[in-house]
Amino acid sequence: MEKKNIDWSNLGFGYQVTDKRYVSNYKNGAWDDGVLTDEATITLSECAGVLQYAQTCFEGLKAYTTEDGRTVCFRPDLNASRMKDSCERLEMPVFPEDRFVEAVKAVVHANEAYVPPYGSGATLYIRPYMFGSSPVIGVKPAEEYQFRMFCTPVGPYFKGGAKPITIRVSDYDRAAPHGTGHIKAGLNYAMSLYQIVDAHEKGFDENMYLDAGSRTYVEETGGANFIFITKDGKMVTPKSDSILPSITRRSLMVVAEKYLGMTVEHRQVRFDELGDFAECGLCGTAAVISPVGKINDHGREICFPSGMDEMGPVTKKLYDTLTGIQMGRIEAPEGWIVEID
Ligand code: PLP
Ligand code: COI
């Protein structure tokens, strides 16, 4: 397969149109067969449920070229299952999980020329999403839906790649207790835009959100979960009903324990214990593992001993092992790597 002429190593995390995307429509209580299409534009009713009441959710996963030249993706079954949870919470019809995984394979296969080469530092980001497409004016779920999936080659989410970033504690909340923080609803991201623009204007890379109920515990950032490393080498990661259950974080818990022999604690993390940690990182599909060097709490800085120059040593081991599994250099646990044929 001849690859597209793209400057892979200099890609940022942006959208570019690729050749094919998958579309399936839900009408009269059933999903149609679904097709791959060249059409990248959507025409919708002015009163579509997504436009009036934000009835939409999405997923994100990646495809990789392995060291031995195969094209693979990482744990797509978990994205299918998390999308099911999102749909159920938003009164949307579930797209069958087996068909979701088949659609991932079809989209990547049809856009194989855009899967970045091994070693380029880039990957193919796959974006499945669903929205209410029929008109809704009283507040209620739409009757018709569209499920779509496109892909786009991407580089690092944070400029500078593996360089430690600086985040600040947000004064606004991301997710209410008993709200929608645990699902991937578009509305969770709409309400974070003000904070991210403000953070960037003030020179910060991301926002740290605390629990909205007591502002005592660490939750997550706008697009990634946290991992912390203690001074004696344990991995600690926040537990809360209002954070998104990151697939990367769940995978790292296994990597830390089973591959690196570390102790893993998944528990509430108090904001006032952050100064005790040796390393901090953000983890997610887009973020992979991005080291955090500093957290700014209204002018007071929490500086991790790993510093602002490079990833801390334990974070680096986690990063190397996870990406080694994703790129086929290290044997993966059963079912984690799905080949695109
Ligand atoms: N938290 C939020 C709010 C996210 O948007 C994401 C991205 O998907 C994550 C965490 C990381 O999740 P995952 O590792 O499944 O990509
Ligand atoms: C992902 O990591 O896939 C996400 O959806 C995060 C988003 C902020 C880009």
| pLDDT given for residue 160 in this prediction | 77
Do residues 161 and 287 touch, judged by C-beta distance below 8 A?
Answer: no
Report the atom number in ligand 1 closest to the C-alpha of 59. 8
Give the single-character DSSP code of 2. Answer: P
How much is the mean pLDDT over the chain? 97
* Ligand 1 lined by 206 (C-beta under 6 Å): no
Provide the CB-side half-sphere exposure for 262 (13 A, CA).
Answer: 25
Mapping DSSP onto H, E and C, the string for 48-90 reads EHHHHHCCEEECCEEEEECCCCCEEEECHHHHHHHHHHHHHHC
Residue 336 burial (C-beta neighbours within 10 Å; 0-12, 13-18, 19+): middle
How far from chain centre, in Å, is Cα 113?
23
CA-nearest residue, atom 5 of ligand 1: 223
Q: How confident is the model at residue 162 (pLDDT cuts 50, 70, 90)?
A: confident
Mean of pLDDT values over 148-157: 97
Catalytic residues, which ones?
184
| pLDDT given for residue 1 in this prediction | 77
Report the atom number in ligand 2 closest to the C-alpha of 58. 5
Angstrom distances, CA of residue 38 to CA of 20, 25, 35, 58, 107: 5, 16, 10, 21, 11
| pLDDT given for residue 35 in this prediction | 98
| pLDDT given for residue 341 in this prediction | 79
Amino acid code (one letter) for 99: R
Q: What is the pLDDT of residues 176-213, one digit of tens each?
A: 999 999 999 999 999 999 999 999 999 999 999 999 99
Lowest mean pLDDT among 2-6, 99-103, 156-160, 171-175: 156-160
CA-nearest residue, atom 9 of ligand 2: 286
Q: What is the pLDDT of residues 38-78, one digit of tens each?
A: 999 999 999 999 999 999 999 999 999 999 999 999 999 99
E strand segments, the chain: 21-27, 30-31, 35-37, 56-58, 61-65, 71-74, 123-132, 145-154, 165-169, 206-208, 225-230, 235-238, 264-267, 277-284, 288-297, 300-303, 337-339
Structure tokens belonging to residue 245: 């259950």
Do residues 26 and 145 touch, judged by C-beta distance below 8 A?
Answer: yes
Mean of pLDDT values over 94-106: 98
Angstrom distances, CA of residue 237 to CA of 244, 250, 284, 287: 12, 10, 13, 16
Pairing of strands 337-339, 71-74: antiparallel
| pLDDT given for residue 55 in this prediction | 98
| pLDDT given for residue 112 in this prediction | 97
Report the residue among 150, 157, 283 best suited for mutation to probe ligand 2: largest number of ligand atoms under 8 A from its CB.
157
* Ligand 1 lined by 181 (C-beta under 6 Å): no
- Ligand 2 centroid from CA 278, angstroms: 26
Structure tokens belonging to residue 153: 């080659």
How far is it, in rounded angstroms, from Cα 191 to Cα 188? 6
In this structure, which ligand is nearest to the CA of 224?
1
E strand segments, 252-308: 264-267, 277-284, 288-297, 300-303
Q: What is the pLDDT of residues 261-301, one digit of tens each?
A: 999 999 999 999 999 999 999 999 999 999 999 999 999 99
* Ligand 1 lined by 60 (C-beta under 6 Å): yes
- With a CB cutoff of 8 Å and minimum separation 6, the contacts of 250 are 78
3-state helix, strand, coil in the chain (%, to 5): 25, 30, 45
Strand partners, 112: none
* Ligand 1 lined by 284 (C-beta under 6 Å): yes
In this structure, which ligand is nearest to the CA of 183?
1
Q: What is the pLDDT of residues 203-245, one digit of tens each?
A: 999 999 999 999 999 999 999 999 999 999 999 999 999 999 9
Structure tokens belonging to residue 61: 């996963």
Percentage with pLDDT > 90 across the chain: 98
Query: Ligand 2 — pocket residues by CB below 6 A?
Result: 60, 223, 284-286
